Chain A
Amino acid sequence: MASKASAGARAAGAGLARDPALAVTVVLLWAGLALFVVYPLAMLFARIVVDQGHVSLAGLGGILTDRHQVRAFGNSLLLGALVGLIGTVVGFAFAFVAARGRLPLWLVATIDASVLLPLISPPFTTAIAMIFSFGPRGLVTYGLLGVKGFSVYGLWSTLLSEALTYFPIAYLTLRPILAAIDSNVEGMARSLGASRWRVFRTVTLPLAIPGIANAFLLLFAASLADFATPLILAGNAFPVLPTQAYLQITGMFDLRGGAALSFALLVPALIVFVLQRYWVSRRQYVTVTGKGAGQTPFDSMTPGVRAALLAVCGGVTLLIVYFYALLLYASLVVALGANHAFTLAHYRTIFTDGAKAIRDTLTIAALATPLGGLYGIAVGYLVARKRFPGRRTMELVSMIDYALPGTIVGIAYLIAFNDPPLVLTGTALIIVACYVFRYGPTGIRATIALLAQIDPSLEEASRGLGAGSATTFRRVTLPLIAPAFFAGLGVVFIRSMTAISATIFLISIGWTLITVKILENITELSLGPAAAFSVFVVAIVFVVTGAIARAVRLFRAPGATQVASLLGG
């Protein structure tokens, strides 16, 4: 309602004045955002446009119009679109069969668990497995199918690897939507004589379109930012921009050029964000209320279709399991492809030589996770429920680090925090801050989404009964948005364990990370320790997210709303 109208602004300001808790929180959050989102990007921008002491864009024109980089930009968009498309289709298939296929509960639980696996994988895991399986002498291409000289590098393998890694995001976005589409609506269409296919085409699909669009955009953005997979699989014929930016800096020693390329990625990332925010979310037709429990689900598909979908999902799941089995195998043999003697030496290595990395990563994850979770609900709650000046701006700024590829954020932090006034390089704080502000926004969006389903009258009822805004938040809102809090916690933790693109620039003598160690090991051909580290990360993340999921179930009161997913988007 009151947006720019002066009456609204006055009311917003007055609201702040009357509520000291709100004012303090807003100020603290703005301080954090200004320091850890705006300042680093401003410094990066300054570094780009200031050359030898004066503002100049000379030299940048060269790199931004270079034929090769332009192709890389186009390739990034193409790859992103394809990953979005294929990942959404696969995710939709999984979601449809899980939500409407009337499967036994144990099967649905298995699907949920196996779909989680790619999301929590450390970088490079699928890429290495792909080379091993589909390379010129790959296990599958050569060993199984007898195809000689098959090229594993290029668009298709990068596409496959990324689609497999990211389709779970589509699944987690679409499942609750498909589950919530009112069975009665479909039943109604059937009663009017429509065949199941027609019902799907004219009722189910249109209702799911905002969700599908949302999933597509999420996958597109994820692919756009991925630099690790193309590093290994894209080959020479298919350069992509995030990798190019990284290599410009580390291969050509051109910080300005690399930073400029990274900023080029800002454009599609922001477009995606704007589209998602202003077009998709305005068209939500379906709200997840969890109310459908009492109905018999509508019979959406013929047994034939269900079997076909299950086959497809089964195939994909098998592929995922195969890759991870390969990973496990690589961690237990001396040298994959050379010496297949069983050994536990690699695990010994990671717990001795790699002990510091493990300690550091877990410490940082332990710091970042609660901070990230709190940040998520604080911003989410303020933006969704409270009115104060600059509310929309705060929401936008909070999403910036999330929307940008990690390379930019990492470089920006490096440049901003190496010099006074605030020197943070070499500390854990810089990495923690990066994680909190980069991955916290998932918690923000989850909180906002959940609050949208919680009627404001609940909080008004609490206020009417005499509870001030802080008490209301604590006793009414917080328990109801607990699922979003845990979702935020889960995401920050997972990303803390598996992130590489931003943090590769932020490690230091004092603090190093498991993912960087994995990259090192792969570069040095030590596949065994790399695989062992990866298995370790997957195991830890599974245990912790399992614990969080249990906590969600314990915490969730009988009447509280369902959370869409632990990891959504």
Chain B
Amino acid sequence: MAAAAATDATSAKHAVGVRVEGVSKRFAHRVKGEIYAARDVTLDVAPGEFLTLLGPSGCGKTTTLRMIAGFETPDEGHVRFGSDDVTHLPADQRNIGFVFQNYALFPHLSVGENVAYGLRVRGLDGREVATRVTDVLTLVGLAGYEQQFSSQLSGGEQQRVALARAIVIRPRLLLFDEPLSNLDARLRVQMRDEIRDLQQRLAITTIYVTHDQEEAMAVSDRIVVMNQGRVVQVGSAEDLYHHPQSRFVAGFIGRVNLLPARVTAIDGDAVELDALGCRLALRHAGAALRVGDAAALVLRPEALEIVRADDARAVLRGVVVARTFLGEKVEYRALCGDVPLQAIRYNSGPADLVPPGMEIGLAVNVDAAAVVPERES
């Protein structure tokens, strides 16, 4: 194992890319026999990139992360760090920094000793260790906490210690396994920003696992959406949001109205749909569709504009069923015929609120709409 201490990963040009090729992992299930926790997963992480694996529980994101870390061995496929094939390399030789969901701080060691652990394993001398520990604790905002024990710290503080411990060893790769799910909502938002800032500063290649799509969108350069062990779609937050390739991704990222539709015409980039009893023309890129296919129209709440019932722009008409006042925005639930729809309006003042029971019209912003195949492949 190369002396990791010498590798200074704080400079972008030393950051390593990760390639996961066709990786699968099976487990024996007591009832179901053998199941695939991850099936044929392929992804590329660019050096210095912040990539998030996103999906519901059981989708295989944690398993994939653990295979990258070396805590699990793939049954098929390869994992490469840069040009090294690390598929069968034990975790302790991969020079990674792993941050656990439950922090996994050593309860019998102080904060300082926890952070110093990886450095001591690497045989650094006492002075170097002390310096680095002090520096990294300052970096995460815990200066002076060396003598504390984890039982004396709050959740957020423990998370920072875990983070400090992982980055002080200057790993090639930073891996996060749902690190914020045990924190309260406000702290989660604060911490995710700090993690993002830190990662940008240190420019370490980072792979992050979460089930929270808002969190994923906030921190990532790119997101890998996974479901049932497979990679479903890869892209930036905007890509996934505006151009989902499947019902699953459409429904998973953000809030959505999914309406049955039929493809009536395709012309290069443009698609014409029959939906809601009207004809809509969208610019659509991505999933292969043919004329006559059953499809689903993806309408984000903000793609529906609430207008007066007699407004000419109104494509649909309905009744407001419920209204939720959230401060900066107001969510409306409306019923158009027998189709429930969600819409959002930014709060532009008290006079602007639409009362429940009122008849409204809905205009569709087709630029913000998308279409996906009806069936999952």
Q: B-contacting residues of A (Cβ < 8 Å)? A: 1-5, 7-8, 11, 14, 18, 455, 457-458, 460-469, 471-472, 475-476, 479-480, 557-561
**What's the minimum C-beta distance from A560 to chain B, rounded to whole angstroms?**
5
Please state if B34 and A5 are interface contacts (CB–CB under 8 Å).
yes
Please state if B28 and A3 are interface contacts (CB–CB under 8 Å).
yes
Please state if A466 and B28 are interface contacts (CB–CB under 8 Å).
no
Known: A464-B92, A466-B121. A559 touches B28 (CB 8 A): no
Instruction: Give the CA-CA distance A324 to B14 in the complex, in Å.
Output: 74
Please state if A7 and B104 are interface contacts (CB–CB under 8 Å).
no
Q: A residues within 8 A CB of B28?
A: 1-5, 7-8
Determine, out of B67-75, B194-202, B284-292, the stretch whose residues face the partner at the interface.
B67-75
**What's the minimum C-beta distance from B105 to chain A, rounded to whole angstroms?**
8
State whether the Cβ of B97 lies closer than 8 Å to any Cβ in chain A. Answer: yes
Q: List 10 A-B contacts (CB under 8 A).
A: A7-B26, A458-B106, A461-B105, A462-B117, A463-B71, A465-B169, A466-B4, A467-B118, A557-B107, A559-B107
Q: A residues within 8 A CB of B34?
A: 5, 7
State whether the Cβ of B150 lies closer than 8 Å to any Cβ in chain A. Answer: yes
Known: A7-B75, A461-B104, A462-B117. A559 touches B69 (CB 8 A): no
Please state if A466 and B27 are interface contacts (CB–CB under 8 Å).
no
Q: A residues within 8 A CB of B375?
A: none
State whether the Cβ of B236 lies closer than 8 Å to any Cβ in chain A. Answer: no
Instruction: Give the CA-CA distance A561 to B150 in the complex, in Å.
Output: 13
Partner of A457, one of B97, B102, B108: B102
Please state if A558 and B121 are interface contacts (CB–CB under 8 Å).
no
Q: A residues within 8 A CB of B71?
A: 460, 463-464
Q: B residues within 8 A CB of A558?
A: 107-108, 149, 151
Please state if A11 and B73 are interface contacts (CB–CB under 8 Å).
yes
Q: Which residue of A lies closest to B96 (CB)?
A: A464
Over the window 61-105 of chain B, the binary record of Cβ atoms lying under 8 Å from chain A Cβ atoms (1 yes, 0 no) is: 000000001110101000000000000001111011110111011
Please state if A464 and B97 are interface contacts (CB–CB under 8 Å).
yes
Q: B residues within 8 A CB of A462?
A: 106, 117
Q: B residues within 8 A CB of A2?
A: 27-28
Q: Which residue of A lies closest to B162 (CB)?
A: A461
1-45 of chain B: CB within 8 A of chain A: 1, 4, 26-28, 34
Please state if B108 and A465 are interface contacts (CB–CB under 8 Å).
no
* B interface bracket (residues with beta carbon within 8 Å of A): 35 or more
**What's the minimum C-beta distance from A17 to chain B, rounded to whole angstroms?**
11
Please state if B69 and A557 are interface contacts (CB–CB under 8 Å).
no
State whether the Cβ of B165 lies closer than 8 Å to any Cβ in chain A. Answer: yes
106-138 of chain B: CB within 8 A of chain A: 106-109, 117-118, 121-122
**What's the minimum C-beta distance from B30 to chain A, rounded to whole angstroms?**
9
Please state if A559 and B151 are interface contacts (CB–CB under 8 Å).
yes
Partner of A1, one of B27, B90, B151, B165: B27
**What's the minimum C-beta distance from B90 to chain A, rounded to whole angstroms?**
7
Please state if B108 and A480 are interface contacts (CB–CB under 8 Å).
yes
Majority secondary structure, A binding face: helix
**What's the minimum C-beta distance from B372 to chain A, rounded to whole angstroms?**
36
Known: A2-B28, A458-B104. A18 touches B95 (CB 8 A): no
Please state if B92 and A466 are interface contacts (CB–CB under 8 Å).
yes
Known: A7-B34, A455-B104, A480-B107. A463 touches B26 (CB 8 A): no
Known: A1-B27, A8-B28. A466 touches B104 (CB 8 A): no
In addition to A457-B101, A461-B104, A559-B150, 12 A-B residue pairs with Cβ atoms within 8 Å of each other are A457-B102, A461-B98, A462-B106, A463-B71, A464-B97, A465-B166, A466-B118, A468-B90, A468-B92, A557-B107, A558-B151, A559-B149
**What's the minimum C-beta distance from A540 to chain B, rounded to whole angstroms?**
31
Instruction: Give the CA-CA distance A185 to B28 in the complex, in Å.
Output: 36
Please state if A461 and B107 are interface contacts (CB–CB under 8 Å).
no
Please state if B27 and A471 are interface contacts (CB–CB under 8 Å).
no
> Which 6 A-B pairs have CB atoms at the shortest separation, nearest pair first?
A559-B107, A557-B108, A465-B118, A464-B98, A5-B28, A461-B104
Instruction: Give the CA-CA distance A7 to B37 in the complex, in Å.
Output: 14
Instruction: Give the CA-CA distance A7 to B150 in the complex, in Å.
Output: 38
Q: B residues within 8 A CB of A559?
A: 106-108, 149-151
Q: A residues within 8 A CB of B95?
A: 466
Q: A residues within 8 A CB of B175?
A: 464
Partner of A463, one of B91, B108, B165: B91
Q: B residues within 8 A CB of A458?
A: 104, 106-107
Partner of A461, one of B26, B75, B100: B100
**What's the minimum C-beta distance from A2 to chain B, rounded to whole angstroms?**
5
Most buried by B among A5, A14, A465, A471: A465
Please state if B121 and A557 are interface contacts (CB–CB under 8 Å).
no
Q: A residues within 8 A CB of B151?
A: 558-559
Partner of A466, one of B105, B108, B169: B169
**What's the minimum C-beta distance from B162 to chain A, rounded to whole angstroms?**
8
Known: A557-B107, A557-B109. A465 touches B100 (CB 8 A): no
131-164 of chain B: CB within 8 A of chain A: 149-151
Instruction: Give the CA-CA distance A462 to B4 in the complex, in Å.
Output: 16
Q: Which residue of B lies closest to A457 (CB)?
A: B104
Partner of A460, one of B98, B122, B165: B98
Instruction: Give the CA-CA distance A468 to B90 in the complex, in Å.
Output: 9
Instruction: Give the CA-CA distance A466 to B122 in the complex, in Å.
Output: 7
Q: B residues within 8 A CB of A471?
A: 121
Q: B residues within 8 A CB of A14?
A: 73
Instruction: Give the CA-CA distance A220 to B90 in the complex, in Å.
Output: 46
